[in-house]
A = this chain, B = another copy of it.
Amino acid sequence: MAAYEGIIADLIEELGRLPGVGPKSAQRIAFHILAADPADVRRLAHVLTEVKAKVRFCEICGNVSEDAQCRICRDPRRDPAMLCVVEEAKDVVAIERTREFRGRYHVLGGAINPIDGVGPDDLRIRELMTRLADGAIQEVIIATDPNVEGEATATYLARMLRPMGLTISRLASGLPVGGDLEYADEITLGRAFEGRRSIDV
């Protein structure tokens, strides 16, 4: 006999397909939903449907947007000379939270990953080259993830962009702020040495 059957089993199965939701979590969420206010559950079901209907990708940068162009691309106060290249839309949000960057973004839609069969043509690199063609953008900050795929993508992009005479940079790697040196992995620690800076006293 299966542990669950019918619609409850269906719900647990659907929930279990979500990233980071294991069988135990799916069961906990399902029982939460069984006990929840029907209006709350209707709202969740509605917003799930709505998000697929309303959200599309910005025709300029590839960020998620409810309009043809996202609000960052539409914002005239953003510096048109600076472009930050990221893998995913959620990276835009992470960088926006720092309030360190006032330029615009380009979302690649992933990173080069030969094992998963993702090559440069599967990313929005052609769109990036088109954006750079008119010369308005003068600095490109490559903010792909600090892992093997992100580094490979950064190197690939840097080589493609070098002939264009732009300023190209890569986000610094090093020890996370607030972290303990002794718990840093050896690669991070190695990067922190490589990228060490002189202290002005």
**Chain B residues with CB under 8 A of A38:** 52
Residue A48 lies at the interface, judged by CB distance under 8 Å to chain B: yes
Whether A10 contacts B93 in the complex (CB less than 8 A), given A17-B40, A64-B34, comes out as: no
**Chain B residues with CB under 8 A of A18:** 29, 32-33
Whether A7 contacts B93 in the complex (CB less than 8 A), given A25-B20, A31-B88, comes out as: no
Cα(A89)–Cα(B32), bound, Å:
11
Residue A122 lies at the interface, judged by CB distance under 8 Å to chain B: no
Classify the secondary structure of A's interface with B.
helix
CB distance from A32 to the nearest CB of B (A): 5
CB distance from A49 to the nearest CB of B (A): 5
Evaluate contact between A27 and B96: CB separation under 8 angstroms: no
Evaluate contact between B33 and A51: CB separation under 8 angstroms: yes
CB distance from A75 to the nearest CB of B (A): 10
Q: Give how many copies assemble into the complex.
A: 2
Whether A11 contacts B90 in the complex (CB less than 8 A), given A20-B29, A41-B52, comes out as: no
Evaluate contact between A41 and B30: CB separation under 8 angstroms: no
Pick 28 A–B contacts, CB within 8 A, sort by A: A1-B96, A3-B93, A5-B71, A6-B54, A7-B55, A8-B55, A10-B47, A10-B50, A11-B47, A11-B48, A14-B43, A14-B44, A14-B47, A15-B44, A17-B40, A18-B29, A19-B28, A19-B29, A20-B28, A20-B29, A21-B29, A30-B51, A31-B88, A33-B48, A42-B49, A44-B48, A45-B48, A45-B49
Known: A19-B32, A20-B29, A33-B48. 6 other contacts (CB 8 A): A8-B64, A14-B47, A18-B32, A19-B28, A34-B51, A41-B51
